Amino acid sequence: MIAMPVYNDWQAVQLLCSALALELRAMHDASISLLLIDDGSTELPRLRFPHGLNHVRAVDLLSLRRNLGHQRAIAVGLAYVHDHIRCDAVVVMDADGEDKPSDVGRLIAKLRETDGDRIVFAERGRRMEHFVFRVLYLVYRSLHRLLTGYRIRFGNFSVVPTQHLSTLVVSSELWSHYAATVLKTKIPFALVRADKGQRLAGRSRMNLVSMTVHGLTALSVFQEIVGTRVLLANAALLVVILLIVAAVVAIRLFTNLAIPGWATYTIGFLVILIAQLLVISLAVIYFILSGRNSMTFVPVRDYGFFVRDRIRIYPE
């Protein structure tokens, strides 16, 4: 089973399905079906395969009631597959062609090497984005490593064995970010290096705002780790400030180096910093505790609210 979230990219999807059919010719022992997750598209799907899709058993369209966004569409799709479709593994990939069809066979081959014990991700190699995006992405990766302790080496393109699918669909974090959930749940995974391809048609709808939101949602999966690290950093900074205050007081009382009035202004400024750190620390503590006690979205339990229907579009 190959699951792909789609939002108005129907021309690219048609080209991608045809390309997948060609690539799957070499996998004679594999029975492949496609599940297109229509993420509340505003354009009607126009998919026709007059020449057929050899080696593709079926193409189904799972329509969602509203636009949820890329990650949540993946969560709904995985939960639906878990409940309604029998398969050995699920390939998760983008529908625009940037996840290359030629790499699907490599991911499945790696899955077989691991005897289905690991999720196999495509580790990003050469990227096709412009220079500014690559710089911003490098900054984000560094920030993510600093705040969470995890390196970002992969995205959504992966193959999930069924035995791990049952773990993912009961993880509330899946509603926020698929790849981060795999890290958070400590599901074992393997990597296959794969360069990113180019879109088959149309233009990307990702912009700076949507990419920033995507990065923040990945961090939100690790909110307890991020909050704890921020709290520890605040504590360390508070100790440093208190040592500086002690040094200022010592210089003022026991030396002749002090300039009149400087100690008062310096200590006043440091006291303001201490107050700000305490407020931030209390906010972080409240955020962590309230997050642990709040009701969460469980994909396998709640996905049905967003599914409109599933129709077979190939073979007709």
Question: Per residue in 61-99, pLDDT tens?
Answer: 999 999 999 999 999 999 999 999 998 899 999 988 888
**Distance between CA atoms of residues 160 and 163, nearest Å:** 8
Structural contact between residues 34 and 121, judged by C-beta atoms closer than 8 angstroms: no
List, for residues 243-279, the tens digit of each pLDDT value.
Answer: 888 888 888 777 776 666 677 788 888 888 888 888 8
Output the pLDDT for position 306. Answer: 96
Strand order in the sheet with 56-64: 189-194, 119-124, 154-161, 89-92, 2-6, 32-38, 56-64, 307-314
Domain range 2-208+298-314, CATH class: alpha beta
Q: Angle of helix 104-113 relative to helix 10-23, nearest 10 degrees? A: 50
Residue length of the chain: 316
Output the pLDDT for position 293. Answer: 55
Output the pLDDT for position 50. Answer: 65
The rounded radius of gyration (Å) of the Cα atoms in the chain is 25
Count other C-beta atoms under 10 Å from residue 97's C-beta: 20
Alpha helix (H) ranges present in the chain?
Answer: 10-23, 70-84, 104-113, 131-148, 162-168, 178-185, 208-221, 223-254, 262-293, 299-302
The angle formed by the CA atoms of residues 165, 166 and 168, to the nearest 5 degrees, is 65
Q: Comparing C-alpha atoms, which of 303, 302, 299 is closest to residue 62?
A: 303
DSSP string, 63-104: EESS---HHHHHHHHHHHHHHH---SEEEE--SSSSS-GGGH
Output the pLDDT for position 291. Answer: 64
| Partners of 219 in beta bridges | none
Count other C-beta atoms under 10 Å from residue 145's C-beta: 12
Average pLDDT for runs of 10 along the chain of length 316: 92 88 70 90 82 82 94 95 92 90 90 91 74 77 84 88 93 91 92 85 73 80 84 87 85 73 78 85 74 73 94 86
| Partners of 6 in beta bridges | 38
Q: How far apart are the first and last CA of the chain?
A: 18
